[in-house]
Structure 1
Amino acid sequence: MRKRVWNVLLSAIIVISLLAGCADGYKPAGANGRVTIKFYTHGNGANYNWKQTIAAFEKKYPNIKVDLVVLSEKGDTQEATKKLDLAAASGEEMDVLMFSDPATYAQRVGLGMVAPLDDFIAKEGYKVNEEYKVDTKLNGKYYALPGKFNPWYVLLNKDHLDEAGLPVPKDWTWDQFMDYAKKLKKGSGATKRYGVYFHGPQGGGWMEYLKLALGNQPEHTEFIKADGSSNLDSPLFRKSLEMRLKMEKVDKSSTPYEAMLSQKLHYRAQFFNQSASMILIGSWMNTELGGTDQFPLKFQVAVAPYPKNAPGDPGGYTPVTTDYMAIAANSTHKEEAYKFIRWYTTEGQLVQGKNIPSWNKVKSDELSKIVDSILSQTNNPEKVDKESLNRVLSQAKASKIIPPVSYQAEIYKAINEEYEMLIFGKQDLDTTVKKAQERVQKIIDTNKK
């Protein structure tokens, strides 16, 4: 209750400060004709190479100076979001805002903190869905351009694949994925090696692991549709549960869910210690693929794309994380702010050299250089199959963004609880699907009142 009151008060303060900011009008440039824009980000220097990146922008645009505000030196996105909201509520000058996830982005658009980019995009004359791999459209408008591109993929222990006589998949289905998991398991008891490890769900988190068959679609990838209705009647939700059940209980190819919880297992240890031959995870792992001091790499690693539901389905669709680069609604330098985010989300990504860009015009040799640069910071980059990594990253694409609902956490918790009843043998698949549908519908109905 206290949290809800705080959110309402914060929303009101932000709206009032935004209206006040808009009333100030456009502030002219300084005497030397140079404009300073304030850029608020959750990203720290170590992960985003800001010094070199901003210097390159200011060299290209000498009339624009970027005043960097790092909201969390730890790179903690929750801490950064709280500080950003407080800065907005207190009426601080803002020009460029970076959001780390679709929920934060959609909520701040809803609060009126963010200006639409459509006029700038139309003036420049490009289509966002052709220019970038990530769709950032909300309510028919673009409020952000995407920065980095972190698609999910399947990491493979190539030594285990070779041992089992299995090739590195270039295009595959969930049926083939399950077949690989079965063929890769080995041994028994405490030393058993599993074909695959799933790091979720956990207490309403890591819910990607209950959306396996939904995650490779061009749209409707969430438990809730864009119109706010339930998506649990999708046969792909049922299929996702069915696959998890079959792999653990019938094939015995996936690490038991109970063991993951009770032993507090983690995907890095399970993969690098070779307790599991495959993990499905986000490509933030690129920075660790060649092994680290904490998790040394003692085998060859390869990468496969996110599996499809049927051979004829379009390939490449996968869950994706990105940074949403936006202009503050009360910015008095919107044109300069737009120049920065447009540059940063294109050639600026190449200068930064820390992440795979969402920009579609990155050439294969440029992508390869970024991958080389990222892997060079690991202990054994030579053990990574770069050809498979480059192929997966270049072909991956994001589905349509679905604005998260304010009660998303309740929905996640309910589905997680029904899954546990299923996987612990307390109810069958039909009952699980039915109860999940009923509980989610009740949550939706309650929040409509």
Structure 2
Amino acid sequence: MKKSLLVLSGVLAISAALAGCGSKSEDKPAETSGGAATSSTTKAPVTIKVQAWYTEAQGNWNKTVEAYNATHPNVKVVYESMSEKGDSQEGMKKLDLLAASGEQMDVVMYSSASDFAQRVGAGILEPLDAYLKKDNIVVKDEYKLDPVVNGKYYALPGKMIEWFVLLNKDKLDAAKLPVPTEWTWNDYAEYAKKLTSGEGAAKQYGSYFHNWKDYALLGLNNNMDNPYLVKSDGTENIDNPQVRFSLNLRNQLENVDKSSVPYFEVVSQKMAYRDVFYAGKTAMLATGNWMVGELAQNAKFNTVFAPYPKYDAKDTNGLTEVGADFMGVAANSKNKQAAYDFVKWYTTEGIQTQGLFFSGWKKADINKNVDAILASGKPDQVKFIDKTSLLSTLKVNKSTKLVVPPTYALQQEKEYLTQVELFLTGKQDLEKTISTAKAKIEDIRKSNAK
């Protein structure tokens, strides 16, 4: 969906451009352009922009902001897409350019904890603590995720992302395999072999792994306390059995069993994971729950769902990495209170109105959430979605802790993935991959600690 790495020099330029903006932002509710402390007492309607990468088809944003505007006459919210293709990285680059140029920004979103943390470090986001205190909101009590950064809140969780596995039911039936309800990565590997068929251009693989860091940490994603490549203090978390297992698993499936699309093909052909699954090129796809809404618009065959595989058979069933869209208020917004009010509404009631994503709000009803997402789809596509396996998977899912990494974590991800690529393409062995990545990750941490 969204996780290729940013060019870091661009963010450094933003950080310099925003040096005044970020550092002068006071941690208290700001006045709106109408001169009042809250949007409810603003004398004239103010316009605030919600800026993200979603296309209208992906996000149903026009309907969502219209619902808000209908009950908030003092504010006019407009949605502005930052990407014609709905690409999150393209959208975030455009947001960075807007921030550097001083263009109007009010409500902004980031698609991963690493991207979010980096923008906090660049001073792009307004602290929300005073607003939250005023509304008596304790984030960790109200939301399933706790996106705190150095003791402060700069965003609230929009859609909540948990992972599972999509499976082509027709291919499962042909291979006489049951829909998994609890399985390990070793079980997944066996399924991948049995679901692989054909040769050459007509070959259909059992498995597909994209080039995101998530697919280079498969076993670590099951770790409850430290599911990320670095810990919250920036120290490395890859010199461990779970990471070694993850890389060996990929190498086995891609280069030995030939049951998963090879990394070289993924990168050289610039594969889009959605298209690979929709085209039947792979029978299984480990992915995030955002795909339910997309399947409701695009499914072409019977699709079932299984929990995220376990690293160890003794691990908790359904334990999965967790993520979110991080929605915050731009530090240079002239209508911070109005922007915050929308953020608070969207991250609670609004996502349910939107009807496309899963909510990170503790009061959201999972059954109603699923019904709303399926109702928003096309009948000819929704009929292919197996609601029974979807609900059973969602209800068994248990999230690992959210790690909001240091502001320089994207640099560390880049170095790690560089070494992973060398390993998966046969240019260095596993131990060289781990030791080199470990050294580079530590060097980045130390250089940023100075």
2:276 alignment partner, one of 270, 275, 279: 270
SS of 1:57's partner is: helix
Unaligned runs of 5+ in 2: 1-7
Q: CA deviation at 1:350?
A: 1.5
- Identify the residue that residue 203 of structure 1 maps to in structure 2: none
Structure 1: gaps spanning 5 or more residues: 201-205
Map of 1:237 onto structure 2: 243
Task: Find the aligned partners of 2:317 and 2:132 in 1 and give their Cα distance.
Answer: 28
Deviation at residue 323 of structure 1 after TM alignment? 2.4
Q: Show CA shifts across 1:396-422 (max 9, x none).
A: 53631322443634x344333433443
- Give the C-alpha shift of residue 370 in structure 1: 1.8
Q: Counterpart of 2:434?
A: 433
Shift of 1:227: 0.5
Moved more, 83-92 or 436-445: 83-92
CA deviation profile, 1:83-139 (whole Å, cap 9, x unmatched): 545555566665533333323422333344433334444555554334323331111
- CA distance in structure 2 between the partners assigned to 1:386 and 1:185 by the alignment: 26
1:10 equivalent in structure 2: 17
In structure 2, the partner of 1:416 is: 417
* Separation in structure 2 between the aligned mates of residue 83 and residue 213 of structure 1, nearest angstrom: 34
Alpha-carbon deviation of 1:428? 3.1
1:51-200 alignment runs, 5 A limit:
51-62=62-73, 64-68=74-78, 70=80, 72=82, 74=84, 75=86, 77-78=88-89, 80-81=91-92, 84-85=95-96, 88=99, 95-122=106-133, 124-125=135-136, 127-188=138-199, 191-200=202-211
Give matches, 1:176-325, under 5 Å.
176-188=187-199, 191-200=202-211, 206-289=212-295, 292=298, 297=300, 299-325=301-327
Secondary structure at 1:345 match in 2: helix
Cα distance 1:4–1:391, how it changes in 2: closer, same or farther (>3 A)? Answer: closer
Q: Distance in 1 between matches of 2:42 and 2:442?
A: 59
Whether the aligned pair in 2 keeps the contact of 1:218 and 1:400 (CA below 8 Å) is no
Q: 1:340 aligns with which of 334, 337, 342?
A: 342
Structure 2 counterpart of 1:256, which letter? P
Indicate if the aligned counterparts of 2:329 and 2:340 stay in contact, CA closer than 8 A.
yes
Amino acid at match of 1:181: A
Q: Alpha-carbon deviation of 1:165?
A: 2.9
TM-score by length of 1: 0.82
Letter in 2 for 1:65: V
Judge conservation of contact 1:228–1:405 (CA < 8 Å) in 2: no
Distance across 2 between alignment mates of 1:22 and 1:92? 21
Deviation readout 1:412-437 (Å, 9 max, x if unpaired): 44333433443344443233322332
| CA distance in 1: counterparts of 2:42 and 2:14, whole angstroms | 42
Q: Verify the 8 A CA contact 2:11 2:96 in the aligned structure 1.
A: no
Q: Verify the 8 A CA contact 2:163 2:288 in the aligned structure 1.
A: yes
In the superposition, relative to structure 1, how do residues 420 and 101 fare at CA in structure 2: closer, same or farther (>3 Å)? closer
> Which residue identity does 1:197 align to in structure 2?
Y
Letter in 1 for 2:362: N
Residue 423 of structure 2 aligns to a residue whose secondary structure is helix
TM-score of the superposed pair, with normalisation by structure 2: 0.82
Encode CA deviations 1:134-155: one digit per residue, 9 max, x unaligned. 3311112222211122333211
Q: What letter matches 1:235 in structure 2?
A: P
Over the aligned positions, Cα root-mean-square deviation in angstroms equals 3.5
The CA distance in 2 between the partners of 1:89 and 1:252, in whole Å, is 46
| Match in the other structure for 2:357 | 355
Change (3 A) 1:277 1:448: same
- Whole-Å Cα distance in 2 between the matches of residues 37 and 143 of structure 1? 21
Residues 252-308 of structure 1, C-alpha deviation per residue, up to 9 Å, x if partnerless? 32223334344544433432333321112233332442574xxx72x3211112222
Contact 2:32 2:337 in 1 (8 A): no
Say if 2:109 and 2:326, in contact at 8 Å, map to a contact too: yes
Q: In the aligned structure 1, how far is the partner of 2:64 from the partner of 2:380?
A: 25
Q: Is the CA contact 2:114–2:409 (under 8 Å) kept in the aligned structure 1?
A: no
Sort the Cα spacing of 1:34 and 1:437 in 2 relative to 1 into closer, same or farther, 3 A.
same
1:188 Cα deviation (Å)?
4.8
Q: In structure 2, give the amino acid aligned to 1:105.
A: F
CA distance in structure 2 between the partners assigned to 1:23 and 1:141 by the alignment: 17
- For the residue of structure 2 that corresponds to 1:246, the secondary structure is helix
Residue 46 (structure 2) aligned to one of 16, 32, 36:
36
SS of the residue 1:55 aligns to: helix
SS of 2:177 mapped into structure 1: coil
- Paired with 2:62 and 2:136, the residues of 1 have a C-alpha distance of 31
Bigger shift: 300-309 or 354-363? 354-363
Name the CA distance, whole Å, in 1 between partners of 2:230 and 2:302.
Answer: 39
CA distance in 2, matches of 1:263, 1:331: 41
Q: 2: distance between equivalents of 1:174 and 1:229?
A: 27
Asked if the contact 1:58/1:66 (under 8 Å) is kept, the reply is yes
